[in-house]
Amino acid sequence: MITHTMQAFDEDLHKLLRKLVDMIEMDATQIRAATDALVRHDATVAAQVIDLDAKIDEMQRDVEEEAITVIARRQPMAVDLREIVGALRIASDLERIGDFAENIAKRVLLMDDLRIPQVMPRFRHMAQLALDQLTKVMQSYVDRDAARAVDVWQCDQEIDAFNLSLFRELLTHMLESPVNITYCIHFLFCAKNLERIGDHITNIAETIYYIVEGHRISGQRPKADLTSKDQLPLPV
């Protein structure tokens, strides 16, 4: 009887996991589409990304409802509850990642044409870093692989460093010519959105580690963003 109940609970958890994997895949699609919209200056694709964001919000609410149903039906013990609360946390991070992709798409609609095209490959590269991290974090969740979660956690600084170097490049364009300023501001916020996507993937890695290992990753989160004056080229 206990085995039967445990098996049913495992099936419930698996269903929850499946929903989260669907959300991750949806996020990946949105990140890819938003970056395409930006790089090719494609308003149609941007509008699709904006439309689809509601779907991700709905998926999050669905995970919440499912989690409530599982708890109410199975009345799991505290240790299993932790797993479900972890799933809620991950769903929340995935929903925000969708928002950041949507923000990029919204910016695309604000730009009249494509300027400073030479920075575009940088956005593709940065988005790819985020997508790679997202794939890794999904695998670590499915395989309950704490080591891989730590790997994701440690690699976030790569995206941060990339954002910083892009920031410097955009700053140069702004200083060169005032007509670039508004465009570069949009690009800065787009890069920031990709960097924030990286942060939320790191949050997910932390949650997965916690679910698998039962305690938090020790040490400071590795960062390479604007946290020290030395890194920022202030004009005099």
**What is the contact surface with its own copies in residues (CB under 8 A)?**
64, 67-69, 71-72, 75-78, 81-82, 85, 88-89, 92, 106-107, 109-112, 171, 174-175, 178-179, 181-182, 185, 188-189, 192, 226-229, 232-236
3-state secondary structure string, 4-15? HHHHHHHHHHHH
Which of 25, 57 has the CB closer to its own copies? 57
C-beta of 67 vs 129, nearer to its own copies: 67
Q: How far is CA 183 from CA 39, 76, 78, 170, 173, in A?
A: 13, 52, 51, 9, 10
Give me the least distance between CB of 148 and its own copies, in Å please: 23
Question: Which of residues 36 and 199 has its CB atom nearest to its own copies in the complex?
Answer: 199
- Nearest CB to its own copies, comparing residues 69 and 128: 69
- Rounded Cα–Cα distance for residues 4 and 133 (Å): 37
DSSP 8-state code for residue 129? H
Smallest distance, Å, CB 234 to its own copies? 5
The residue among 33 and 46 lying less far from its own copies, judged by its C-beta, is 46
The nearest distance, CB 131 to its own copies, in angstroms, is: 23
Q: Which residue has the tokens 């479900």?
A: 84
Residue 232 CB, nearest distance to its own copies (Å)?
A: 5
Q: How far apart are CA 116 and CA 122, in angstroms?
A: 11
- Please give the structure tokens belonging to residue 59: 């998926």
* Count of residues in the chain: 236
CB of 100 to its own copies, least distance (A): 11
Amino acid at 213: E
